Amino acid sequence: MGVSLKLFVLLVSLTLALYPSDVWGRGKVINLHEDNWEQMLTDEWMVEFYAPWCPACRALESVWTEFSSWSDDLGIKVAKVDVTTSPGLSGRFIVTALPTIYHVLNGEFRQYHGTRDKDSFMTFIEQKKWETLEPIPSWKSPASFHMGATAYFFKLSQLLRAVHNRLMEDYGLPTWGSYLIFAVATIVLGALLGLIMVCVIDYLYPCKPSGHHTRTVSDVNKEADLLDRGDVDDLVDEECSQSSQDERYSRSQSSSGAEEEEEEDEEEEKEAGSAPSSPGNAGKARQRRARKAD
């Protein structure tokens, strides 16, 4: 036992002698989460998004740790984010594959798509190859308001998943039972939110009265009272005006008819004067005059 301990101490001493102590104290991987992720908005960062169950992330772990030891020499900070414990950040950065690596410079984000080894990472920083990449547009920036709202939706989905697992594991509900509970809760919550929205809209934009007046029982009673008191002057005036209009119209029709008859008589007289008279023609003329007189 004593020999083994001495051998271990000797190996440690040799390691410390071969590698300067300042190397051991140089940069390390910084763990970022939803409470401190805003640190990356200043200075230059390389950030990895990973999950413990991801095989590719496990293979990258040693490389990323070795790369972080050069962070002080490169003048950057190396960090990682566990998406299983920080689902909001995976939504904020739209992480669709693992591992996902971002280069961040003073709040400007670029996604790294190169080879995942230490030399490639160092070359990417030293030669500033990140300048050849297009930064993420402002409307997709993780620091924007709407991406923050997306992060809350991702948190909500993670919470619902935890509730689903608890219902099945702790309370022994079948899968369909958990889904049924979520379906009913969704319907009830949707109905309540819809009712609230309708009330708010009615309060902010009340309905305007229409131009058409609807007669009510009270209106009918008022009209009956007016008729009983004899206050119908307006109604009489309207009837008189309507009757006078009808008379004027009938007079105009009769006058126009008389004028047409006079014109026809004149034409007949002209025809009779120009053509030789005969008993048949005279009789026909008398018959037409009689019909017109009727």
Catalytic residues: 54, 57
Q: How far from 210 is each of 40, 203, 214, 219, 255, CA to CA, in Å?
A: 59, 18, 10, 17, 46
Half-sphere exposure of 126 (CA within 13 A, CB side): 12
Q: How far is CA 218 from CA 8, 214, 224, 233, 262, in A?
A: 105, 11, 10, 21, 59
Query: Residue 128: CB partners within 8 Å, gap ≥ 6?
Result: none
Cα–Cα dist 50/116, whole Å: 13
Backbone angles phi, psi at 21, to 5 degrees: -70, -25
| Torsion sign across C-alpha atoms 153, 154, 157, 158 | negative
**Which residue bears the tokens 């025809």?**
271
**SS3 at position 59:** helix
Work out the number of other CB atoms within 10 angstroms of the CB of residue 56.
13
Distance CA 243, CA 230 (A): 21
